[in-house]
């Protein structure tokens, strides 16, 4: 077989963390054993190749159940950074929810296999990622050929669904507004290769769009975000999102936050459905240990 890129062995740096969790559900659900634990182990390495810095990272979570994310990066200096991403996050998905929070997002731990309203056309598996900063604005672009099915040394199992997206982020420095952070992005999933059909009709492309703005003054950060997703498959519900959050640093160690989020599912042939989420978070740091909690 042929390898596109091969690298010599490099010295690896290892870091890790252990997280002990306690989770309860509401009175209509069965919590079971509320205690759990996960161990995160991270490996990183870097070296010089023809004047460019090549680095690699891999993270293993959940008691060594398998690789959860990896990234191979080439730092080309003024030309930007090029990477191949297997789960670390790229493009539009890096700004799927930027509302302020002291711990996890307000939708963390909610029921269901997916959470509505989270943008990110390419996903984070088998994705090429390009990052470039200029004039205080950072471009983070991602592209994927074929499906987003996880792949290792070989092709993925799916054929359709090629995608691209990007995120632009910056601060208010250029505008003379201290404490301002903003971002916006757009992405498309291509369903036009003929493989994705509904009743014999080829589905249109999926589109993802989002924008956020956060403002910090003293110990307080407030922010809001709006997103929209339209899906090309017949009968698929579009999703429109409005969210806001406020976080307060009580002191250097303690922070609290509150947020709300509304997702409207726009059905073609049925009533629209609105999902409301709210969450309260608190975090306290003591050296290398942090105690954090969410009530979502």
Give per-residue pLDDT as tens, 137-184. 999 999 998 766 655 555 544 555 789 999 999 998 767 789 999 999
Q: Identify the CA nearest to 119 among candidates 226, 203, 236, 215.
A: 226
Q: Is the model's pLDDT at 14 over the cut of 60? A: yes
Q: Yes or no: say if 255 and 283 are a contact pair by the CB < 8 Å rule.
A: yes
Highest mean pLDDT among 189-193, 278-282, 285-289: 278-282
Q: Identify the CA nearest to 211 among candidates 238, 191, 240, 235.
A: 240
Compute and round to an integer the Cα radius of gyration of the chain. 21
Contacts (Cβ under 8 Å, ≥6 apart) of 53: 46, 47, 74, 75
Quote the CA–CA distance of 43 and 114 in Å, as a whole number: 29
Distances (CA, A) of 76 to 56, 130, 132, 162: 15, 11, 10, 26
Mean pLDDT, range 80-86, rounded to an integer: 93
- Site of tokens 């040394």: 153
Q: Structure pTM?
A: 0.83
**Segment among 200-214, 232-246, 267-281 with least mean pLDDT:** 200-214
Contacts (Cβ under 8 Å, ≥6 apart) of 230: 206, 207, 238
Residue 159 is predicted with a pLDDT of 52
Quote the CA–CA distance of 248 and 258 in Å, as a whole number: 9
Percent of the chain topping pLDDT 90? 46
Q: Yes or no: say if 117 and 227 are a contact pair by the CB < 8 Å rule.
A: yes
- pLDDT category of residue 34 using cuts at 50, 70 and 90: confident
Structure tokens that stand for 1 in this block: 């077989």
More confident residue, 277 or 200: 277
Q: What backbone phi and psi angles, to 5 degrees, belong to 174?
A: -65, -25
Q: Identify the CA nearest to 228 among candidates 123, 121, 101.
A: 121
Residue 1 is predicted with a pLDDT of 45
Per-residue pLDDT tens digits for 222-246:
999 999 999 887 677 889 999 999 9
Contacts (Cβ under 8 Å, ≥6 apart) of 56: 7, 10, 43, 44, 45, 46, 70, 71, 72, 73
Q: Is the model's pLDDT at 255 over the cut of 60? A: yes
Residue 8 is predicted with a pLDDT of 59
Number of H helices, E strands in the chain: 0, 17
Phi-psi group of 60: left, alpha or beta (phi > 0 → left; psi -120 to 50 → alpha; rest → beta):
beta
Burial of 141 (0-12, 13-18, 19+ CB in 10 A): buried
More confident residue, 281 or 4: 281
């Amino acid at each position: 077989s042929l390898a596109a890129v091969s690298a010599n062995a490099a010295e690896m740096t290892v870091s890790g963390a252990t997280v002990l969790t306690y989770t309860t559900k509401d009175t209509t659900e069965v919590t079971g054993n509320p205690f759990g634990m996960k161990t995160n182990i991270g490996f990183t390495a870097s070296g010089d190749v023809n004047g460019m810095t090549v680095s690699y990272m891999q993270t293993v979570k959940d008691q060594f159940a398998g690789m959860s994310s990896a990234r191979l990066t080439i730092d080309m200096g003024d030309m930007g950074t090029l990477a191949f991403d297997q789960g670390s996050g790229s493009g539009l998905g890096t700004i799927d929810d930027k509302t302020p929070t002291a711990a996890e997002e307000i939708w963390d731990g909610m029921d269901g296999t997916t959470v509505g309203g989270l943008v990110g056309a390419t996903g984070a598996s088998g994705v090429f990622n390009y990052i470039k900063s200029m004039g205080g604005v950072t471009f983070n672009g991602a592209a994927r050929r074929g499906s987003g099915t996880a792949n290792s040394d070989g092709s993925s199992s799916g054929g359709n669904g090629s995608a691209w997206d990007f995120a632009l982020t910056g601060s208010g420095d250029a505008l003379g507004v201290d404490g301002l952070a903003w971002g916006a992005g757009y992405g498309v999933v291509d369903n036009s290769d003929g493989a994705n059909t509904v009743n014999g009709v080829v589905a249109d492309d999926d589109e993802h769009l989002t924008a956020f703005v956060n403002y910090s003054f003293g110990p307080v950060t407030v922010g809001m975000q709006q997103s929209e997703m339209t899906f090309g498959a017949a009968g698929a519900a579009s999703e429109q999102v409005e969210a806001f959050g406020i976080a307060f640093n009580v002191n250097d160690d303690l922070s609290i936050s509150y947020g709300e989020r509304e997702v409207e599912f726009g059905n073609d042939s049925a009533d629209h459905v609105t999902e409301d989420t709210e969450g309260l978070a608190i975090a306290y740091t003591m050296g290398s240990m942090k105690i954090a909690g969410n009530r979502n």
